């Protein structure tokens, strides 16, 4: 019997393209032992994913693979579809990077999850459905039974990723291949998913191939690490040695690019906010959506309180970091501030003006947004130049084509792009380049306020560091203010002057970034910080954990906001509950009320 679950020897992968043959993987060799987690790291285009796709026969029609691949002693490179189909989804499970494309859009979640159990484990439908509910609960999806009946587009990105992880793990595979499994997840959910993967590895002796650019995840999970660059392995070895004594310059560059909560590389470079009246004032803002619940003949409507009474101010030149888990209302808050969603109650004042429909049209050029997925936010039919010039056509109609083109080229240089890319299309650019195009389009009108909605979450660490520095430089040059939404607390610390923590649509803590991240007071903030990955193997595995017990409450339940103040709870989901008040515990440091004894219990 083979000593390794997976042996890859001198694997080469190439693709036939109109521009000739592209060599994606150039003679890669490594093995994964039972019960071992092998971390495979490198930037986009390094060949990480293609190595495993080729090994399991998942290359597109123009791809070719050569070398040797053995799974549990069986040669599988070039094996028949029947043999590979018996392994994939059962003995070998995948968690793909993009769950929206990995899930079938026209099938319910339960259909897709149950198919795996029925096909490979021969379960009947009731048993398969019960197991699906169990695993959705294990990956912390609230109201699991209801979610099973939904379609992929009805779930958030983080929830779709958790569905993929549950599907991959519920068959107890011998090898789990996780391709960027936690990129779209919040820190607390990421910590719990990594715990699940670690439990699976330890309890069932499952081998794990963890493909990621997050060095904090590697530090916590991997026993050995393979570093890939341009289709080749440049360094491999035990995780401790690689982190503390990297041999290759590329490995050292990756480690130096990782932001750390314990230190701030760029914090000293932030320009201080300007004095005077606030640029933006938000007062008791509420955004609610009607949701149909129940299966009876007469549907019951409940109000989902996505944003439930949030207030803050933003000074000119200031960056406010907004953090919290998926579903806490971060993106909804940002869209309501920009009037992209109607507010149910409360007020938004920009430059001292209440933003009604007429005023918002006049000020739209000063309010811009950089979206999380740059490829999805750019029109695939438009060139880069046309996308960046679009705001100029709307707000500066006096400019002719040549004048617009000159301004676009100037802005492309400012965001670090070659002006020669002006006639390229989004699919011809990398993720980092497309994100820079999105930033250029937002900055072309030199706005006063820019919302960055998870603008660096999916980028490689080196590109992420470049984009963060770029945003800070543009802020200095233009004097703009930013709402920076992210679940990466280390990045938030680097770029933000203040941090606001949201939980189920309400603010639980707010203050200066150095204070909040060094001395958190609210138990939810402490849990977020404790769950954040630390790019140091010894620190990541030995530091104390602060966990929140139980499942994430449903935002439809009015009792959910009193999770940390149960002394005020009335156990009736239909009545209006007490609203925890924000208390100023130090100058400029606000914390929502909570029960100290309950906080100790939650952290135990």
| 325 and 468 inside one domain | yes
| 170 and 189 inside one domain | yes
| 366 and 241 inside one domain | no
**Taking 60 as the threshold, does the pLDDT of residue 551 lie above it?**
no
What's the chain's average pLDDT?
84
> Which among 179-193, 466-480, 532-546, 581-595 has the top mean pLDDT?
581-595
Of 43-47, 85-89, 417-421, 430-434, minimum mean pLDDT range: 430-434
Q: Quick check: is 306 in a domain?
A: yes
Q: Indicate the pLDDT class of residue 294, thresholds 50, 70 and 90.
A: low
Query: Measured over all CA atoms, what is the biggest interatomic distance in the chain, rounded to whole angstroms?
Result: 75
**Taking 60 as the threshold, does the pLDDT of residue 599 lie above it?**
no
| 476 and 530 inside one domain | yes
Q: Indicate the pLDDT class of residue 32, thresholds 50, 70 and 90.
A: very high
| Euclidean distance between CA atoms 14 and 133, whole angstroms | 41
Q: Indicate the pLDDT class of residue 213, thresholds 50, 70 and 90.
A: confident
**Taking 80 as the threshold, does the pLDDT of residue 271 lie above it?**
no
DSSP string computed for 69-138: EEETTEE-TT--HHHHHHHBTTTEEEE-S-HHHHS-TTS-HHHHHHHHHHHHH---HHHHHHHHHHHHHH
The answer to whether 272 touches 262, Cβ cutoff 8 Å, is no
* Strand boundaries in 315-400, DSSP class E: 319-323, 345-350, 353-354, 367-370
Coil vs helix vs strand at 383: coil
Domain count, the chain: 2
Q: Quick check: is 562 in a domain?
A: yes
**Taking 60 as the threshold, does the pLDDT of residue 601 lie above it?**
no
| 147 and 290 inside one domain | no
| 247 and 277 inside one domain | no
Q: Quick check: is 572 in a domain?
A: yes
Using CB atoms within 10 Å of the CB of residue 184, give its burial: 0 to 12 exposed, 13 to 18 middle, 19+ buried: buried
In this prediction, residue 133 carries a pLDDT of 93
**Taking 50 as the threshold, does the pLDDT of residue 15 lie above it?**
yes
In this prediction, residue 604 carries a pLDDT of 47
| Euclidean distance between CA atoms 451 and 569, whole angstroms | 35
More confident residue, 546 or 298: 298
Look at residues 257, 282, 299 and tell me which one is the last residue of a structural domain: 257
| Euclidean distance between CA atoms 249 and 112, whole angstroms | 44
Q: Quick check: is 262 in a domain?
A: no
The token pair that represents 309 in the structure block:
């009474």
Rg (CA), the chain: 25
Look at residues 203, 237, 257 and tell me which one is the last residue of a structural domain: 257
| 146 and 183 inside one domain | yes
Coil vs helix vs strand at 379: coil
| 318 and 405 inside one domain | yes
Q: Please compute the mean of the pLDDT values over residues 203-218 and round it to a whole number.
A: 85
In this prediction, residue 68 carries a pLDDT of 92
Q: Quick check: is 497 in a domain?
A: yes
End-to-end CA distance of the chain: 43
| 324 and 221 inside one domain | no
Q: Which CATH number does the domain housing residue 169 bear?
A: 3.40.50.300
In this prediction, residue 352 carries a pLDDT of 67
**Taking 50 as the threshold, does the pLDDT of residue 255 lie above it?**
yes
Local structure of residue 512 (DSSP, 8 states): E
Sequence-ordered list of residues with C-beta below 8 angstroms from that of 363, at least 6 positions apart, any chain: 350, 351, 353, 355
Q: pLDDT of 333-351, one tens digit each? A: 988 888 888 888 888 888 7
Q: Quick check: is 200 in a domain?
A: yes
Look at residues 225, 257, 289 and tell me which one is the last residue of a structural domain: 257
Q: Quick check: is 1 in a domain?
A: no
| 497 and 450 inside one domain | yes
| 529 and 562 inside one domain | yes
Q: Quick check: is 303 in a domain?
A: yes
Give the domain range for residue 235. 6-257
Percent of the chain exceeding pLDDT 70 equals: 90
Q: Indicate the pLDDT class of residue 6, thresholds 50, 70 and 90.
A: very high
Q: Indicate the pLDDT class of residue 157, thresholds 50, 70 and 90.
A: low
| 27 and 161 inside one domain | yes
**Taking 90 as the threshold, does the pLDDT of residue 498 lie above it?**
yes
């Amino acid at each position: 019997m083979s000593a390794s679950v997976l042996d890859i020897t001198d694997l080469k992968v190439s693709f036939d393209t109109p521009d000739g043959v592209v060599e994606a993987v150039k003679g890669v060799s490594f093995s994964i032992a039972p019960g071992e987690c092998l971390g495979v790291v490198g930037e986009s285009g390094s060949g990480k994913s293609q190595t495993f796709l080729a090994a399991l026969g998942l290359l597109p029609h123009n791809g070719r693979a050569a070398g040797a691949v053995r799974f549990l002693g069986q040669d599988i490179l070039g094996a028949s579809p029947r043999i590979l189909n018996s392994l994939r989804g059962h003995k070998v499970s995948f968690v793909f990077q993009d769950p929206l494309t990995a899930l079938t859009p026209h099938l319910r979640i339960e259909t897709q999850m149950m198919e795996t159990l029925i096909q490979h484990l021969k379960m009947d439908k009731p048993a398969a459905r019960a197991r699906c509910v169990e695993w959705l609960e294990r990956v912390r999806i609230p109201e699991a039974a209801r979610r099973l009946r939904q379609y992929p587009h009805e779930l958030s990105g983080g929830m779709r990723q958790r569905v993929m992880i549950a599907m991959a793990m519920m068959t107890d595979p011998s090898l789990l291949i996780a391709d960027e499994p936690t990129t779209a997840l919040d820190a607390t959910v990421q910590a719990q998913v990594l715990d699940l993967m670690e439990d699976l590895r330890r309890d069932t002796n499952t081998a794990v191939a963890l493909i990621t650019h997050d060095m904090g995840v590697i530090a916590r999970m991997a026993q050995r690490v393979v570093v890939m660059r341009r289709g080749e392995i440049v360094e491999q070895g035990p995780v401790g040695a690689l982190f503390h004594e990297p041999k290759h310059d590329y490995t050292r560059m990756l480690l130096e690019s990782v932001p750390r909560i314990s230190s701030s590389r760029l914090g000293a470079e932030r320009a201080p906010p300007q004095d005077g009246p606030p640029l933006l004032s938000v007062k008791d803002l509420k955004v609610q959506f009607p949701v149909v619940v129940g299966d009876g003949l007469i549907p019951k409507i409940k109000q989902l309180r996505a944003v439930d009474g949030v207030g803050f101010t933003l000074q000119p030149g200031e960056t406010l970091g907004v953090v919290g888990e998926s579903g806490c209302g971060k993106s909804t808050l940002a869209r309501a501030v920009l009037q992209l969603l109607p507010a149910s109650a409360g007020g938004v004042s920009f430059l001292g003006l209440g933003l009604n429909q007429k005023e918002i049209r006049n000020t739209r050029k000063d309010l811009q947004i950089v979206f999380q997925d740059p490829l999805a936010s750019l029109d695939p039919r438009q060139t880069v130049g046309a996308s960046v010039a679009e705001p100029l056509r709307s707000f500066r109609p006096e400019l002719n084509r040549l004048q617009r083109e000159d301004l676009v080229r100037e802005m492309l240089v400012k965001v670090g792009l070659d002006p020669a890319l002006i006639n390229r299309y989004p699919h011809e650019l990398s993720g980092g380049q497309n994100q820079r195009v999105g930033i250029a389009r937002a900055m072309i009108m030199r706005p006063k306020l820019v919302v960055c909605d998870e603008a660096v979450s999916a980028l490689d660490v080196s590109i992420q560091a470049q984009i963060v520095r770029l945003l800070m430089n543009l802020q200095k040059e233009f004097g703009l203010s930013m709402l920076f939404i992210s679940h990466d607390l280390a990045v938030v610390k680097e770029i933000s002057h203040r941090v606001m923590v949201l939980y189920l649509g309400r603010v639980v803590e707010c203050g200066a970034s150095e204070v909040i991240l060094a001395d958190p007071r609210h138990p939810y903030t402490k849990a977020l910080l404790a769950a954040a990955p630390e790019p140091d193997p010894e620190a990541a595995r030995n530091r104390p954990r602060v966990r929140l017990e139980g499942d994430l409450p449903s935002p439809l339940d009015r009792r959910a906001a009193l999770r940390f103040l149960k002394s005020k709870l009335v156990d009736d989901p239909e009545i209006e509950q007490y609203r925890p008040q924000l208390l100023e515990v130090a100058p400029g440091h606000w914390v929502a009320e909570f029960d100290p004894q309950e906080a100790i219990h939650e952290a135990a």
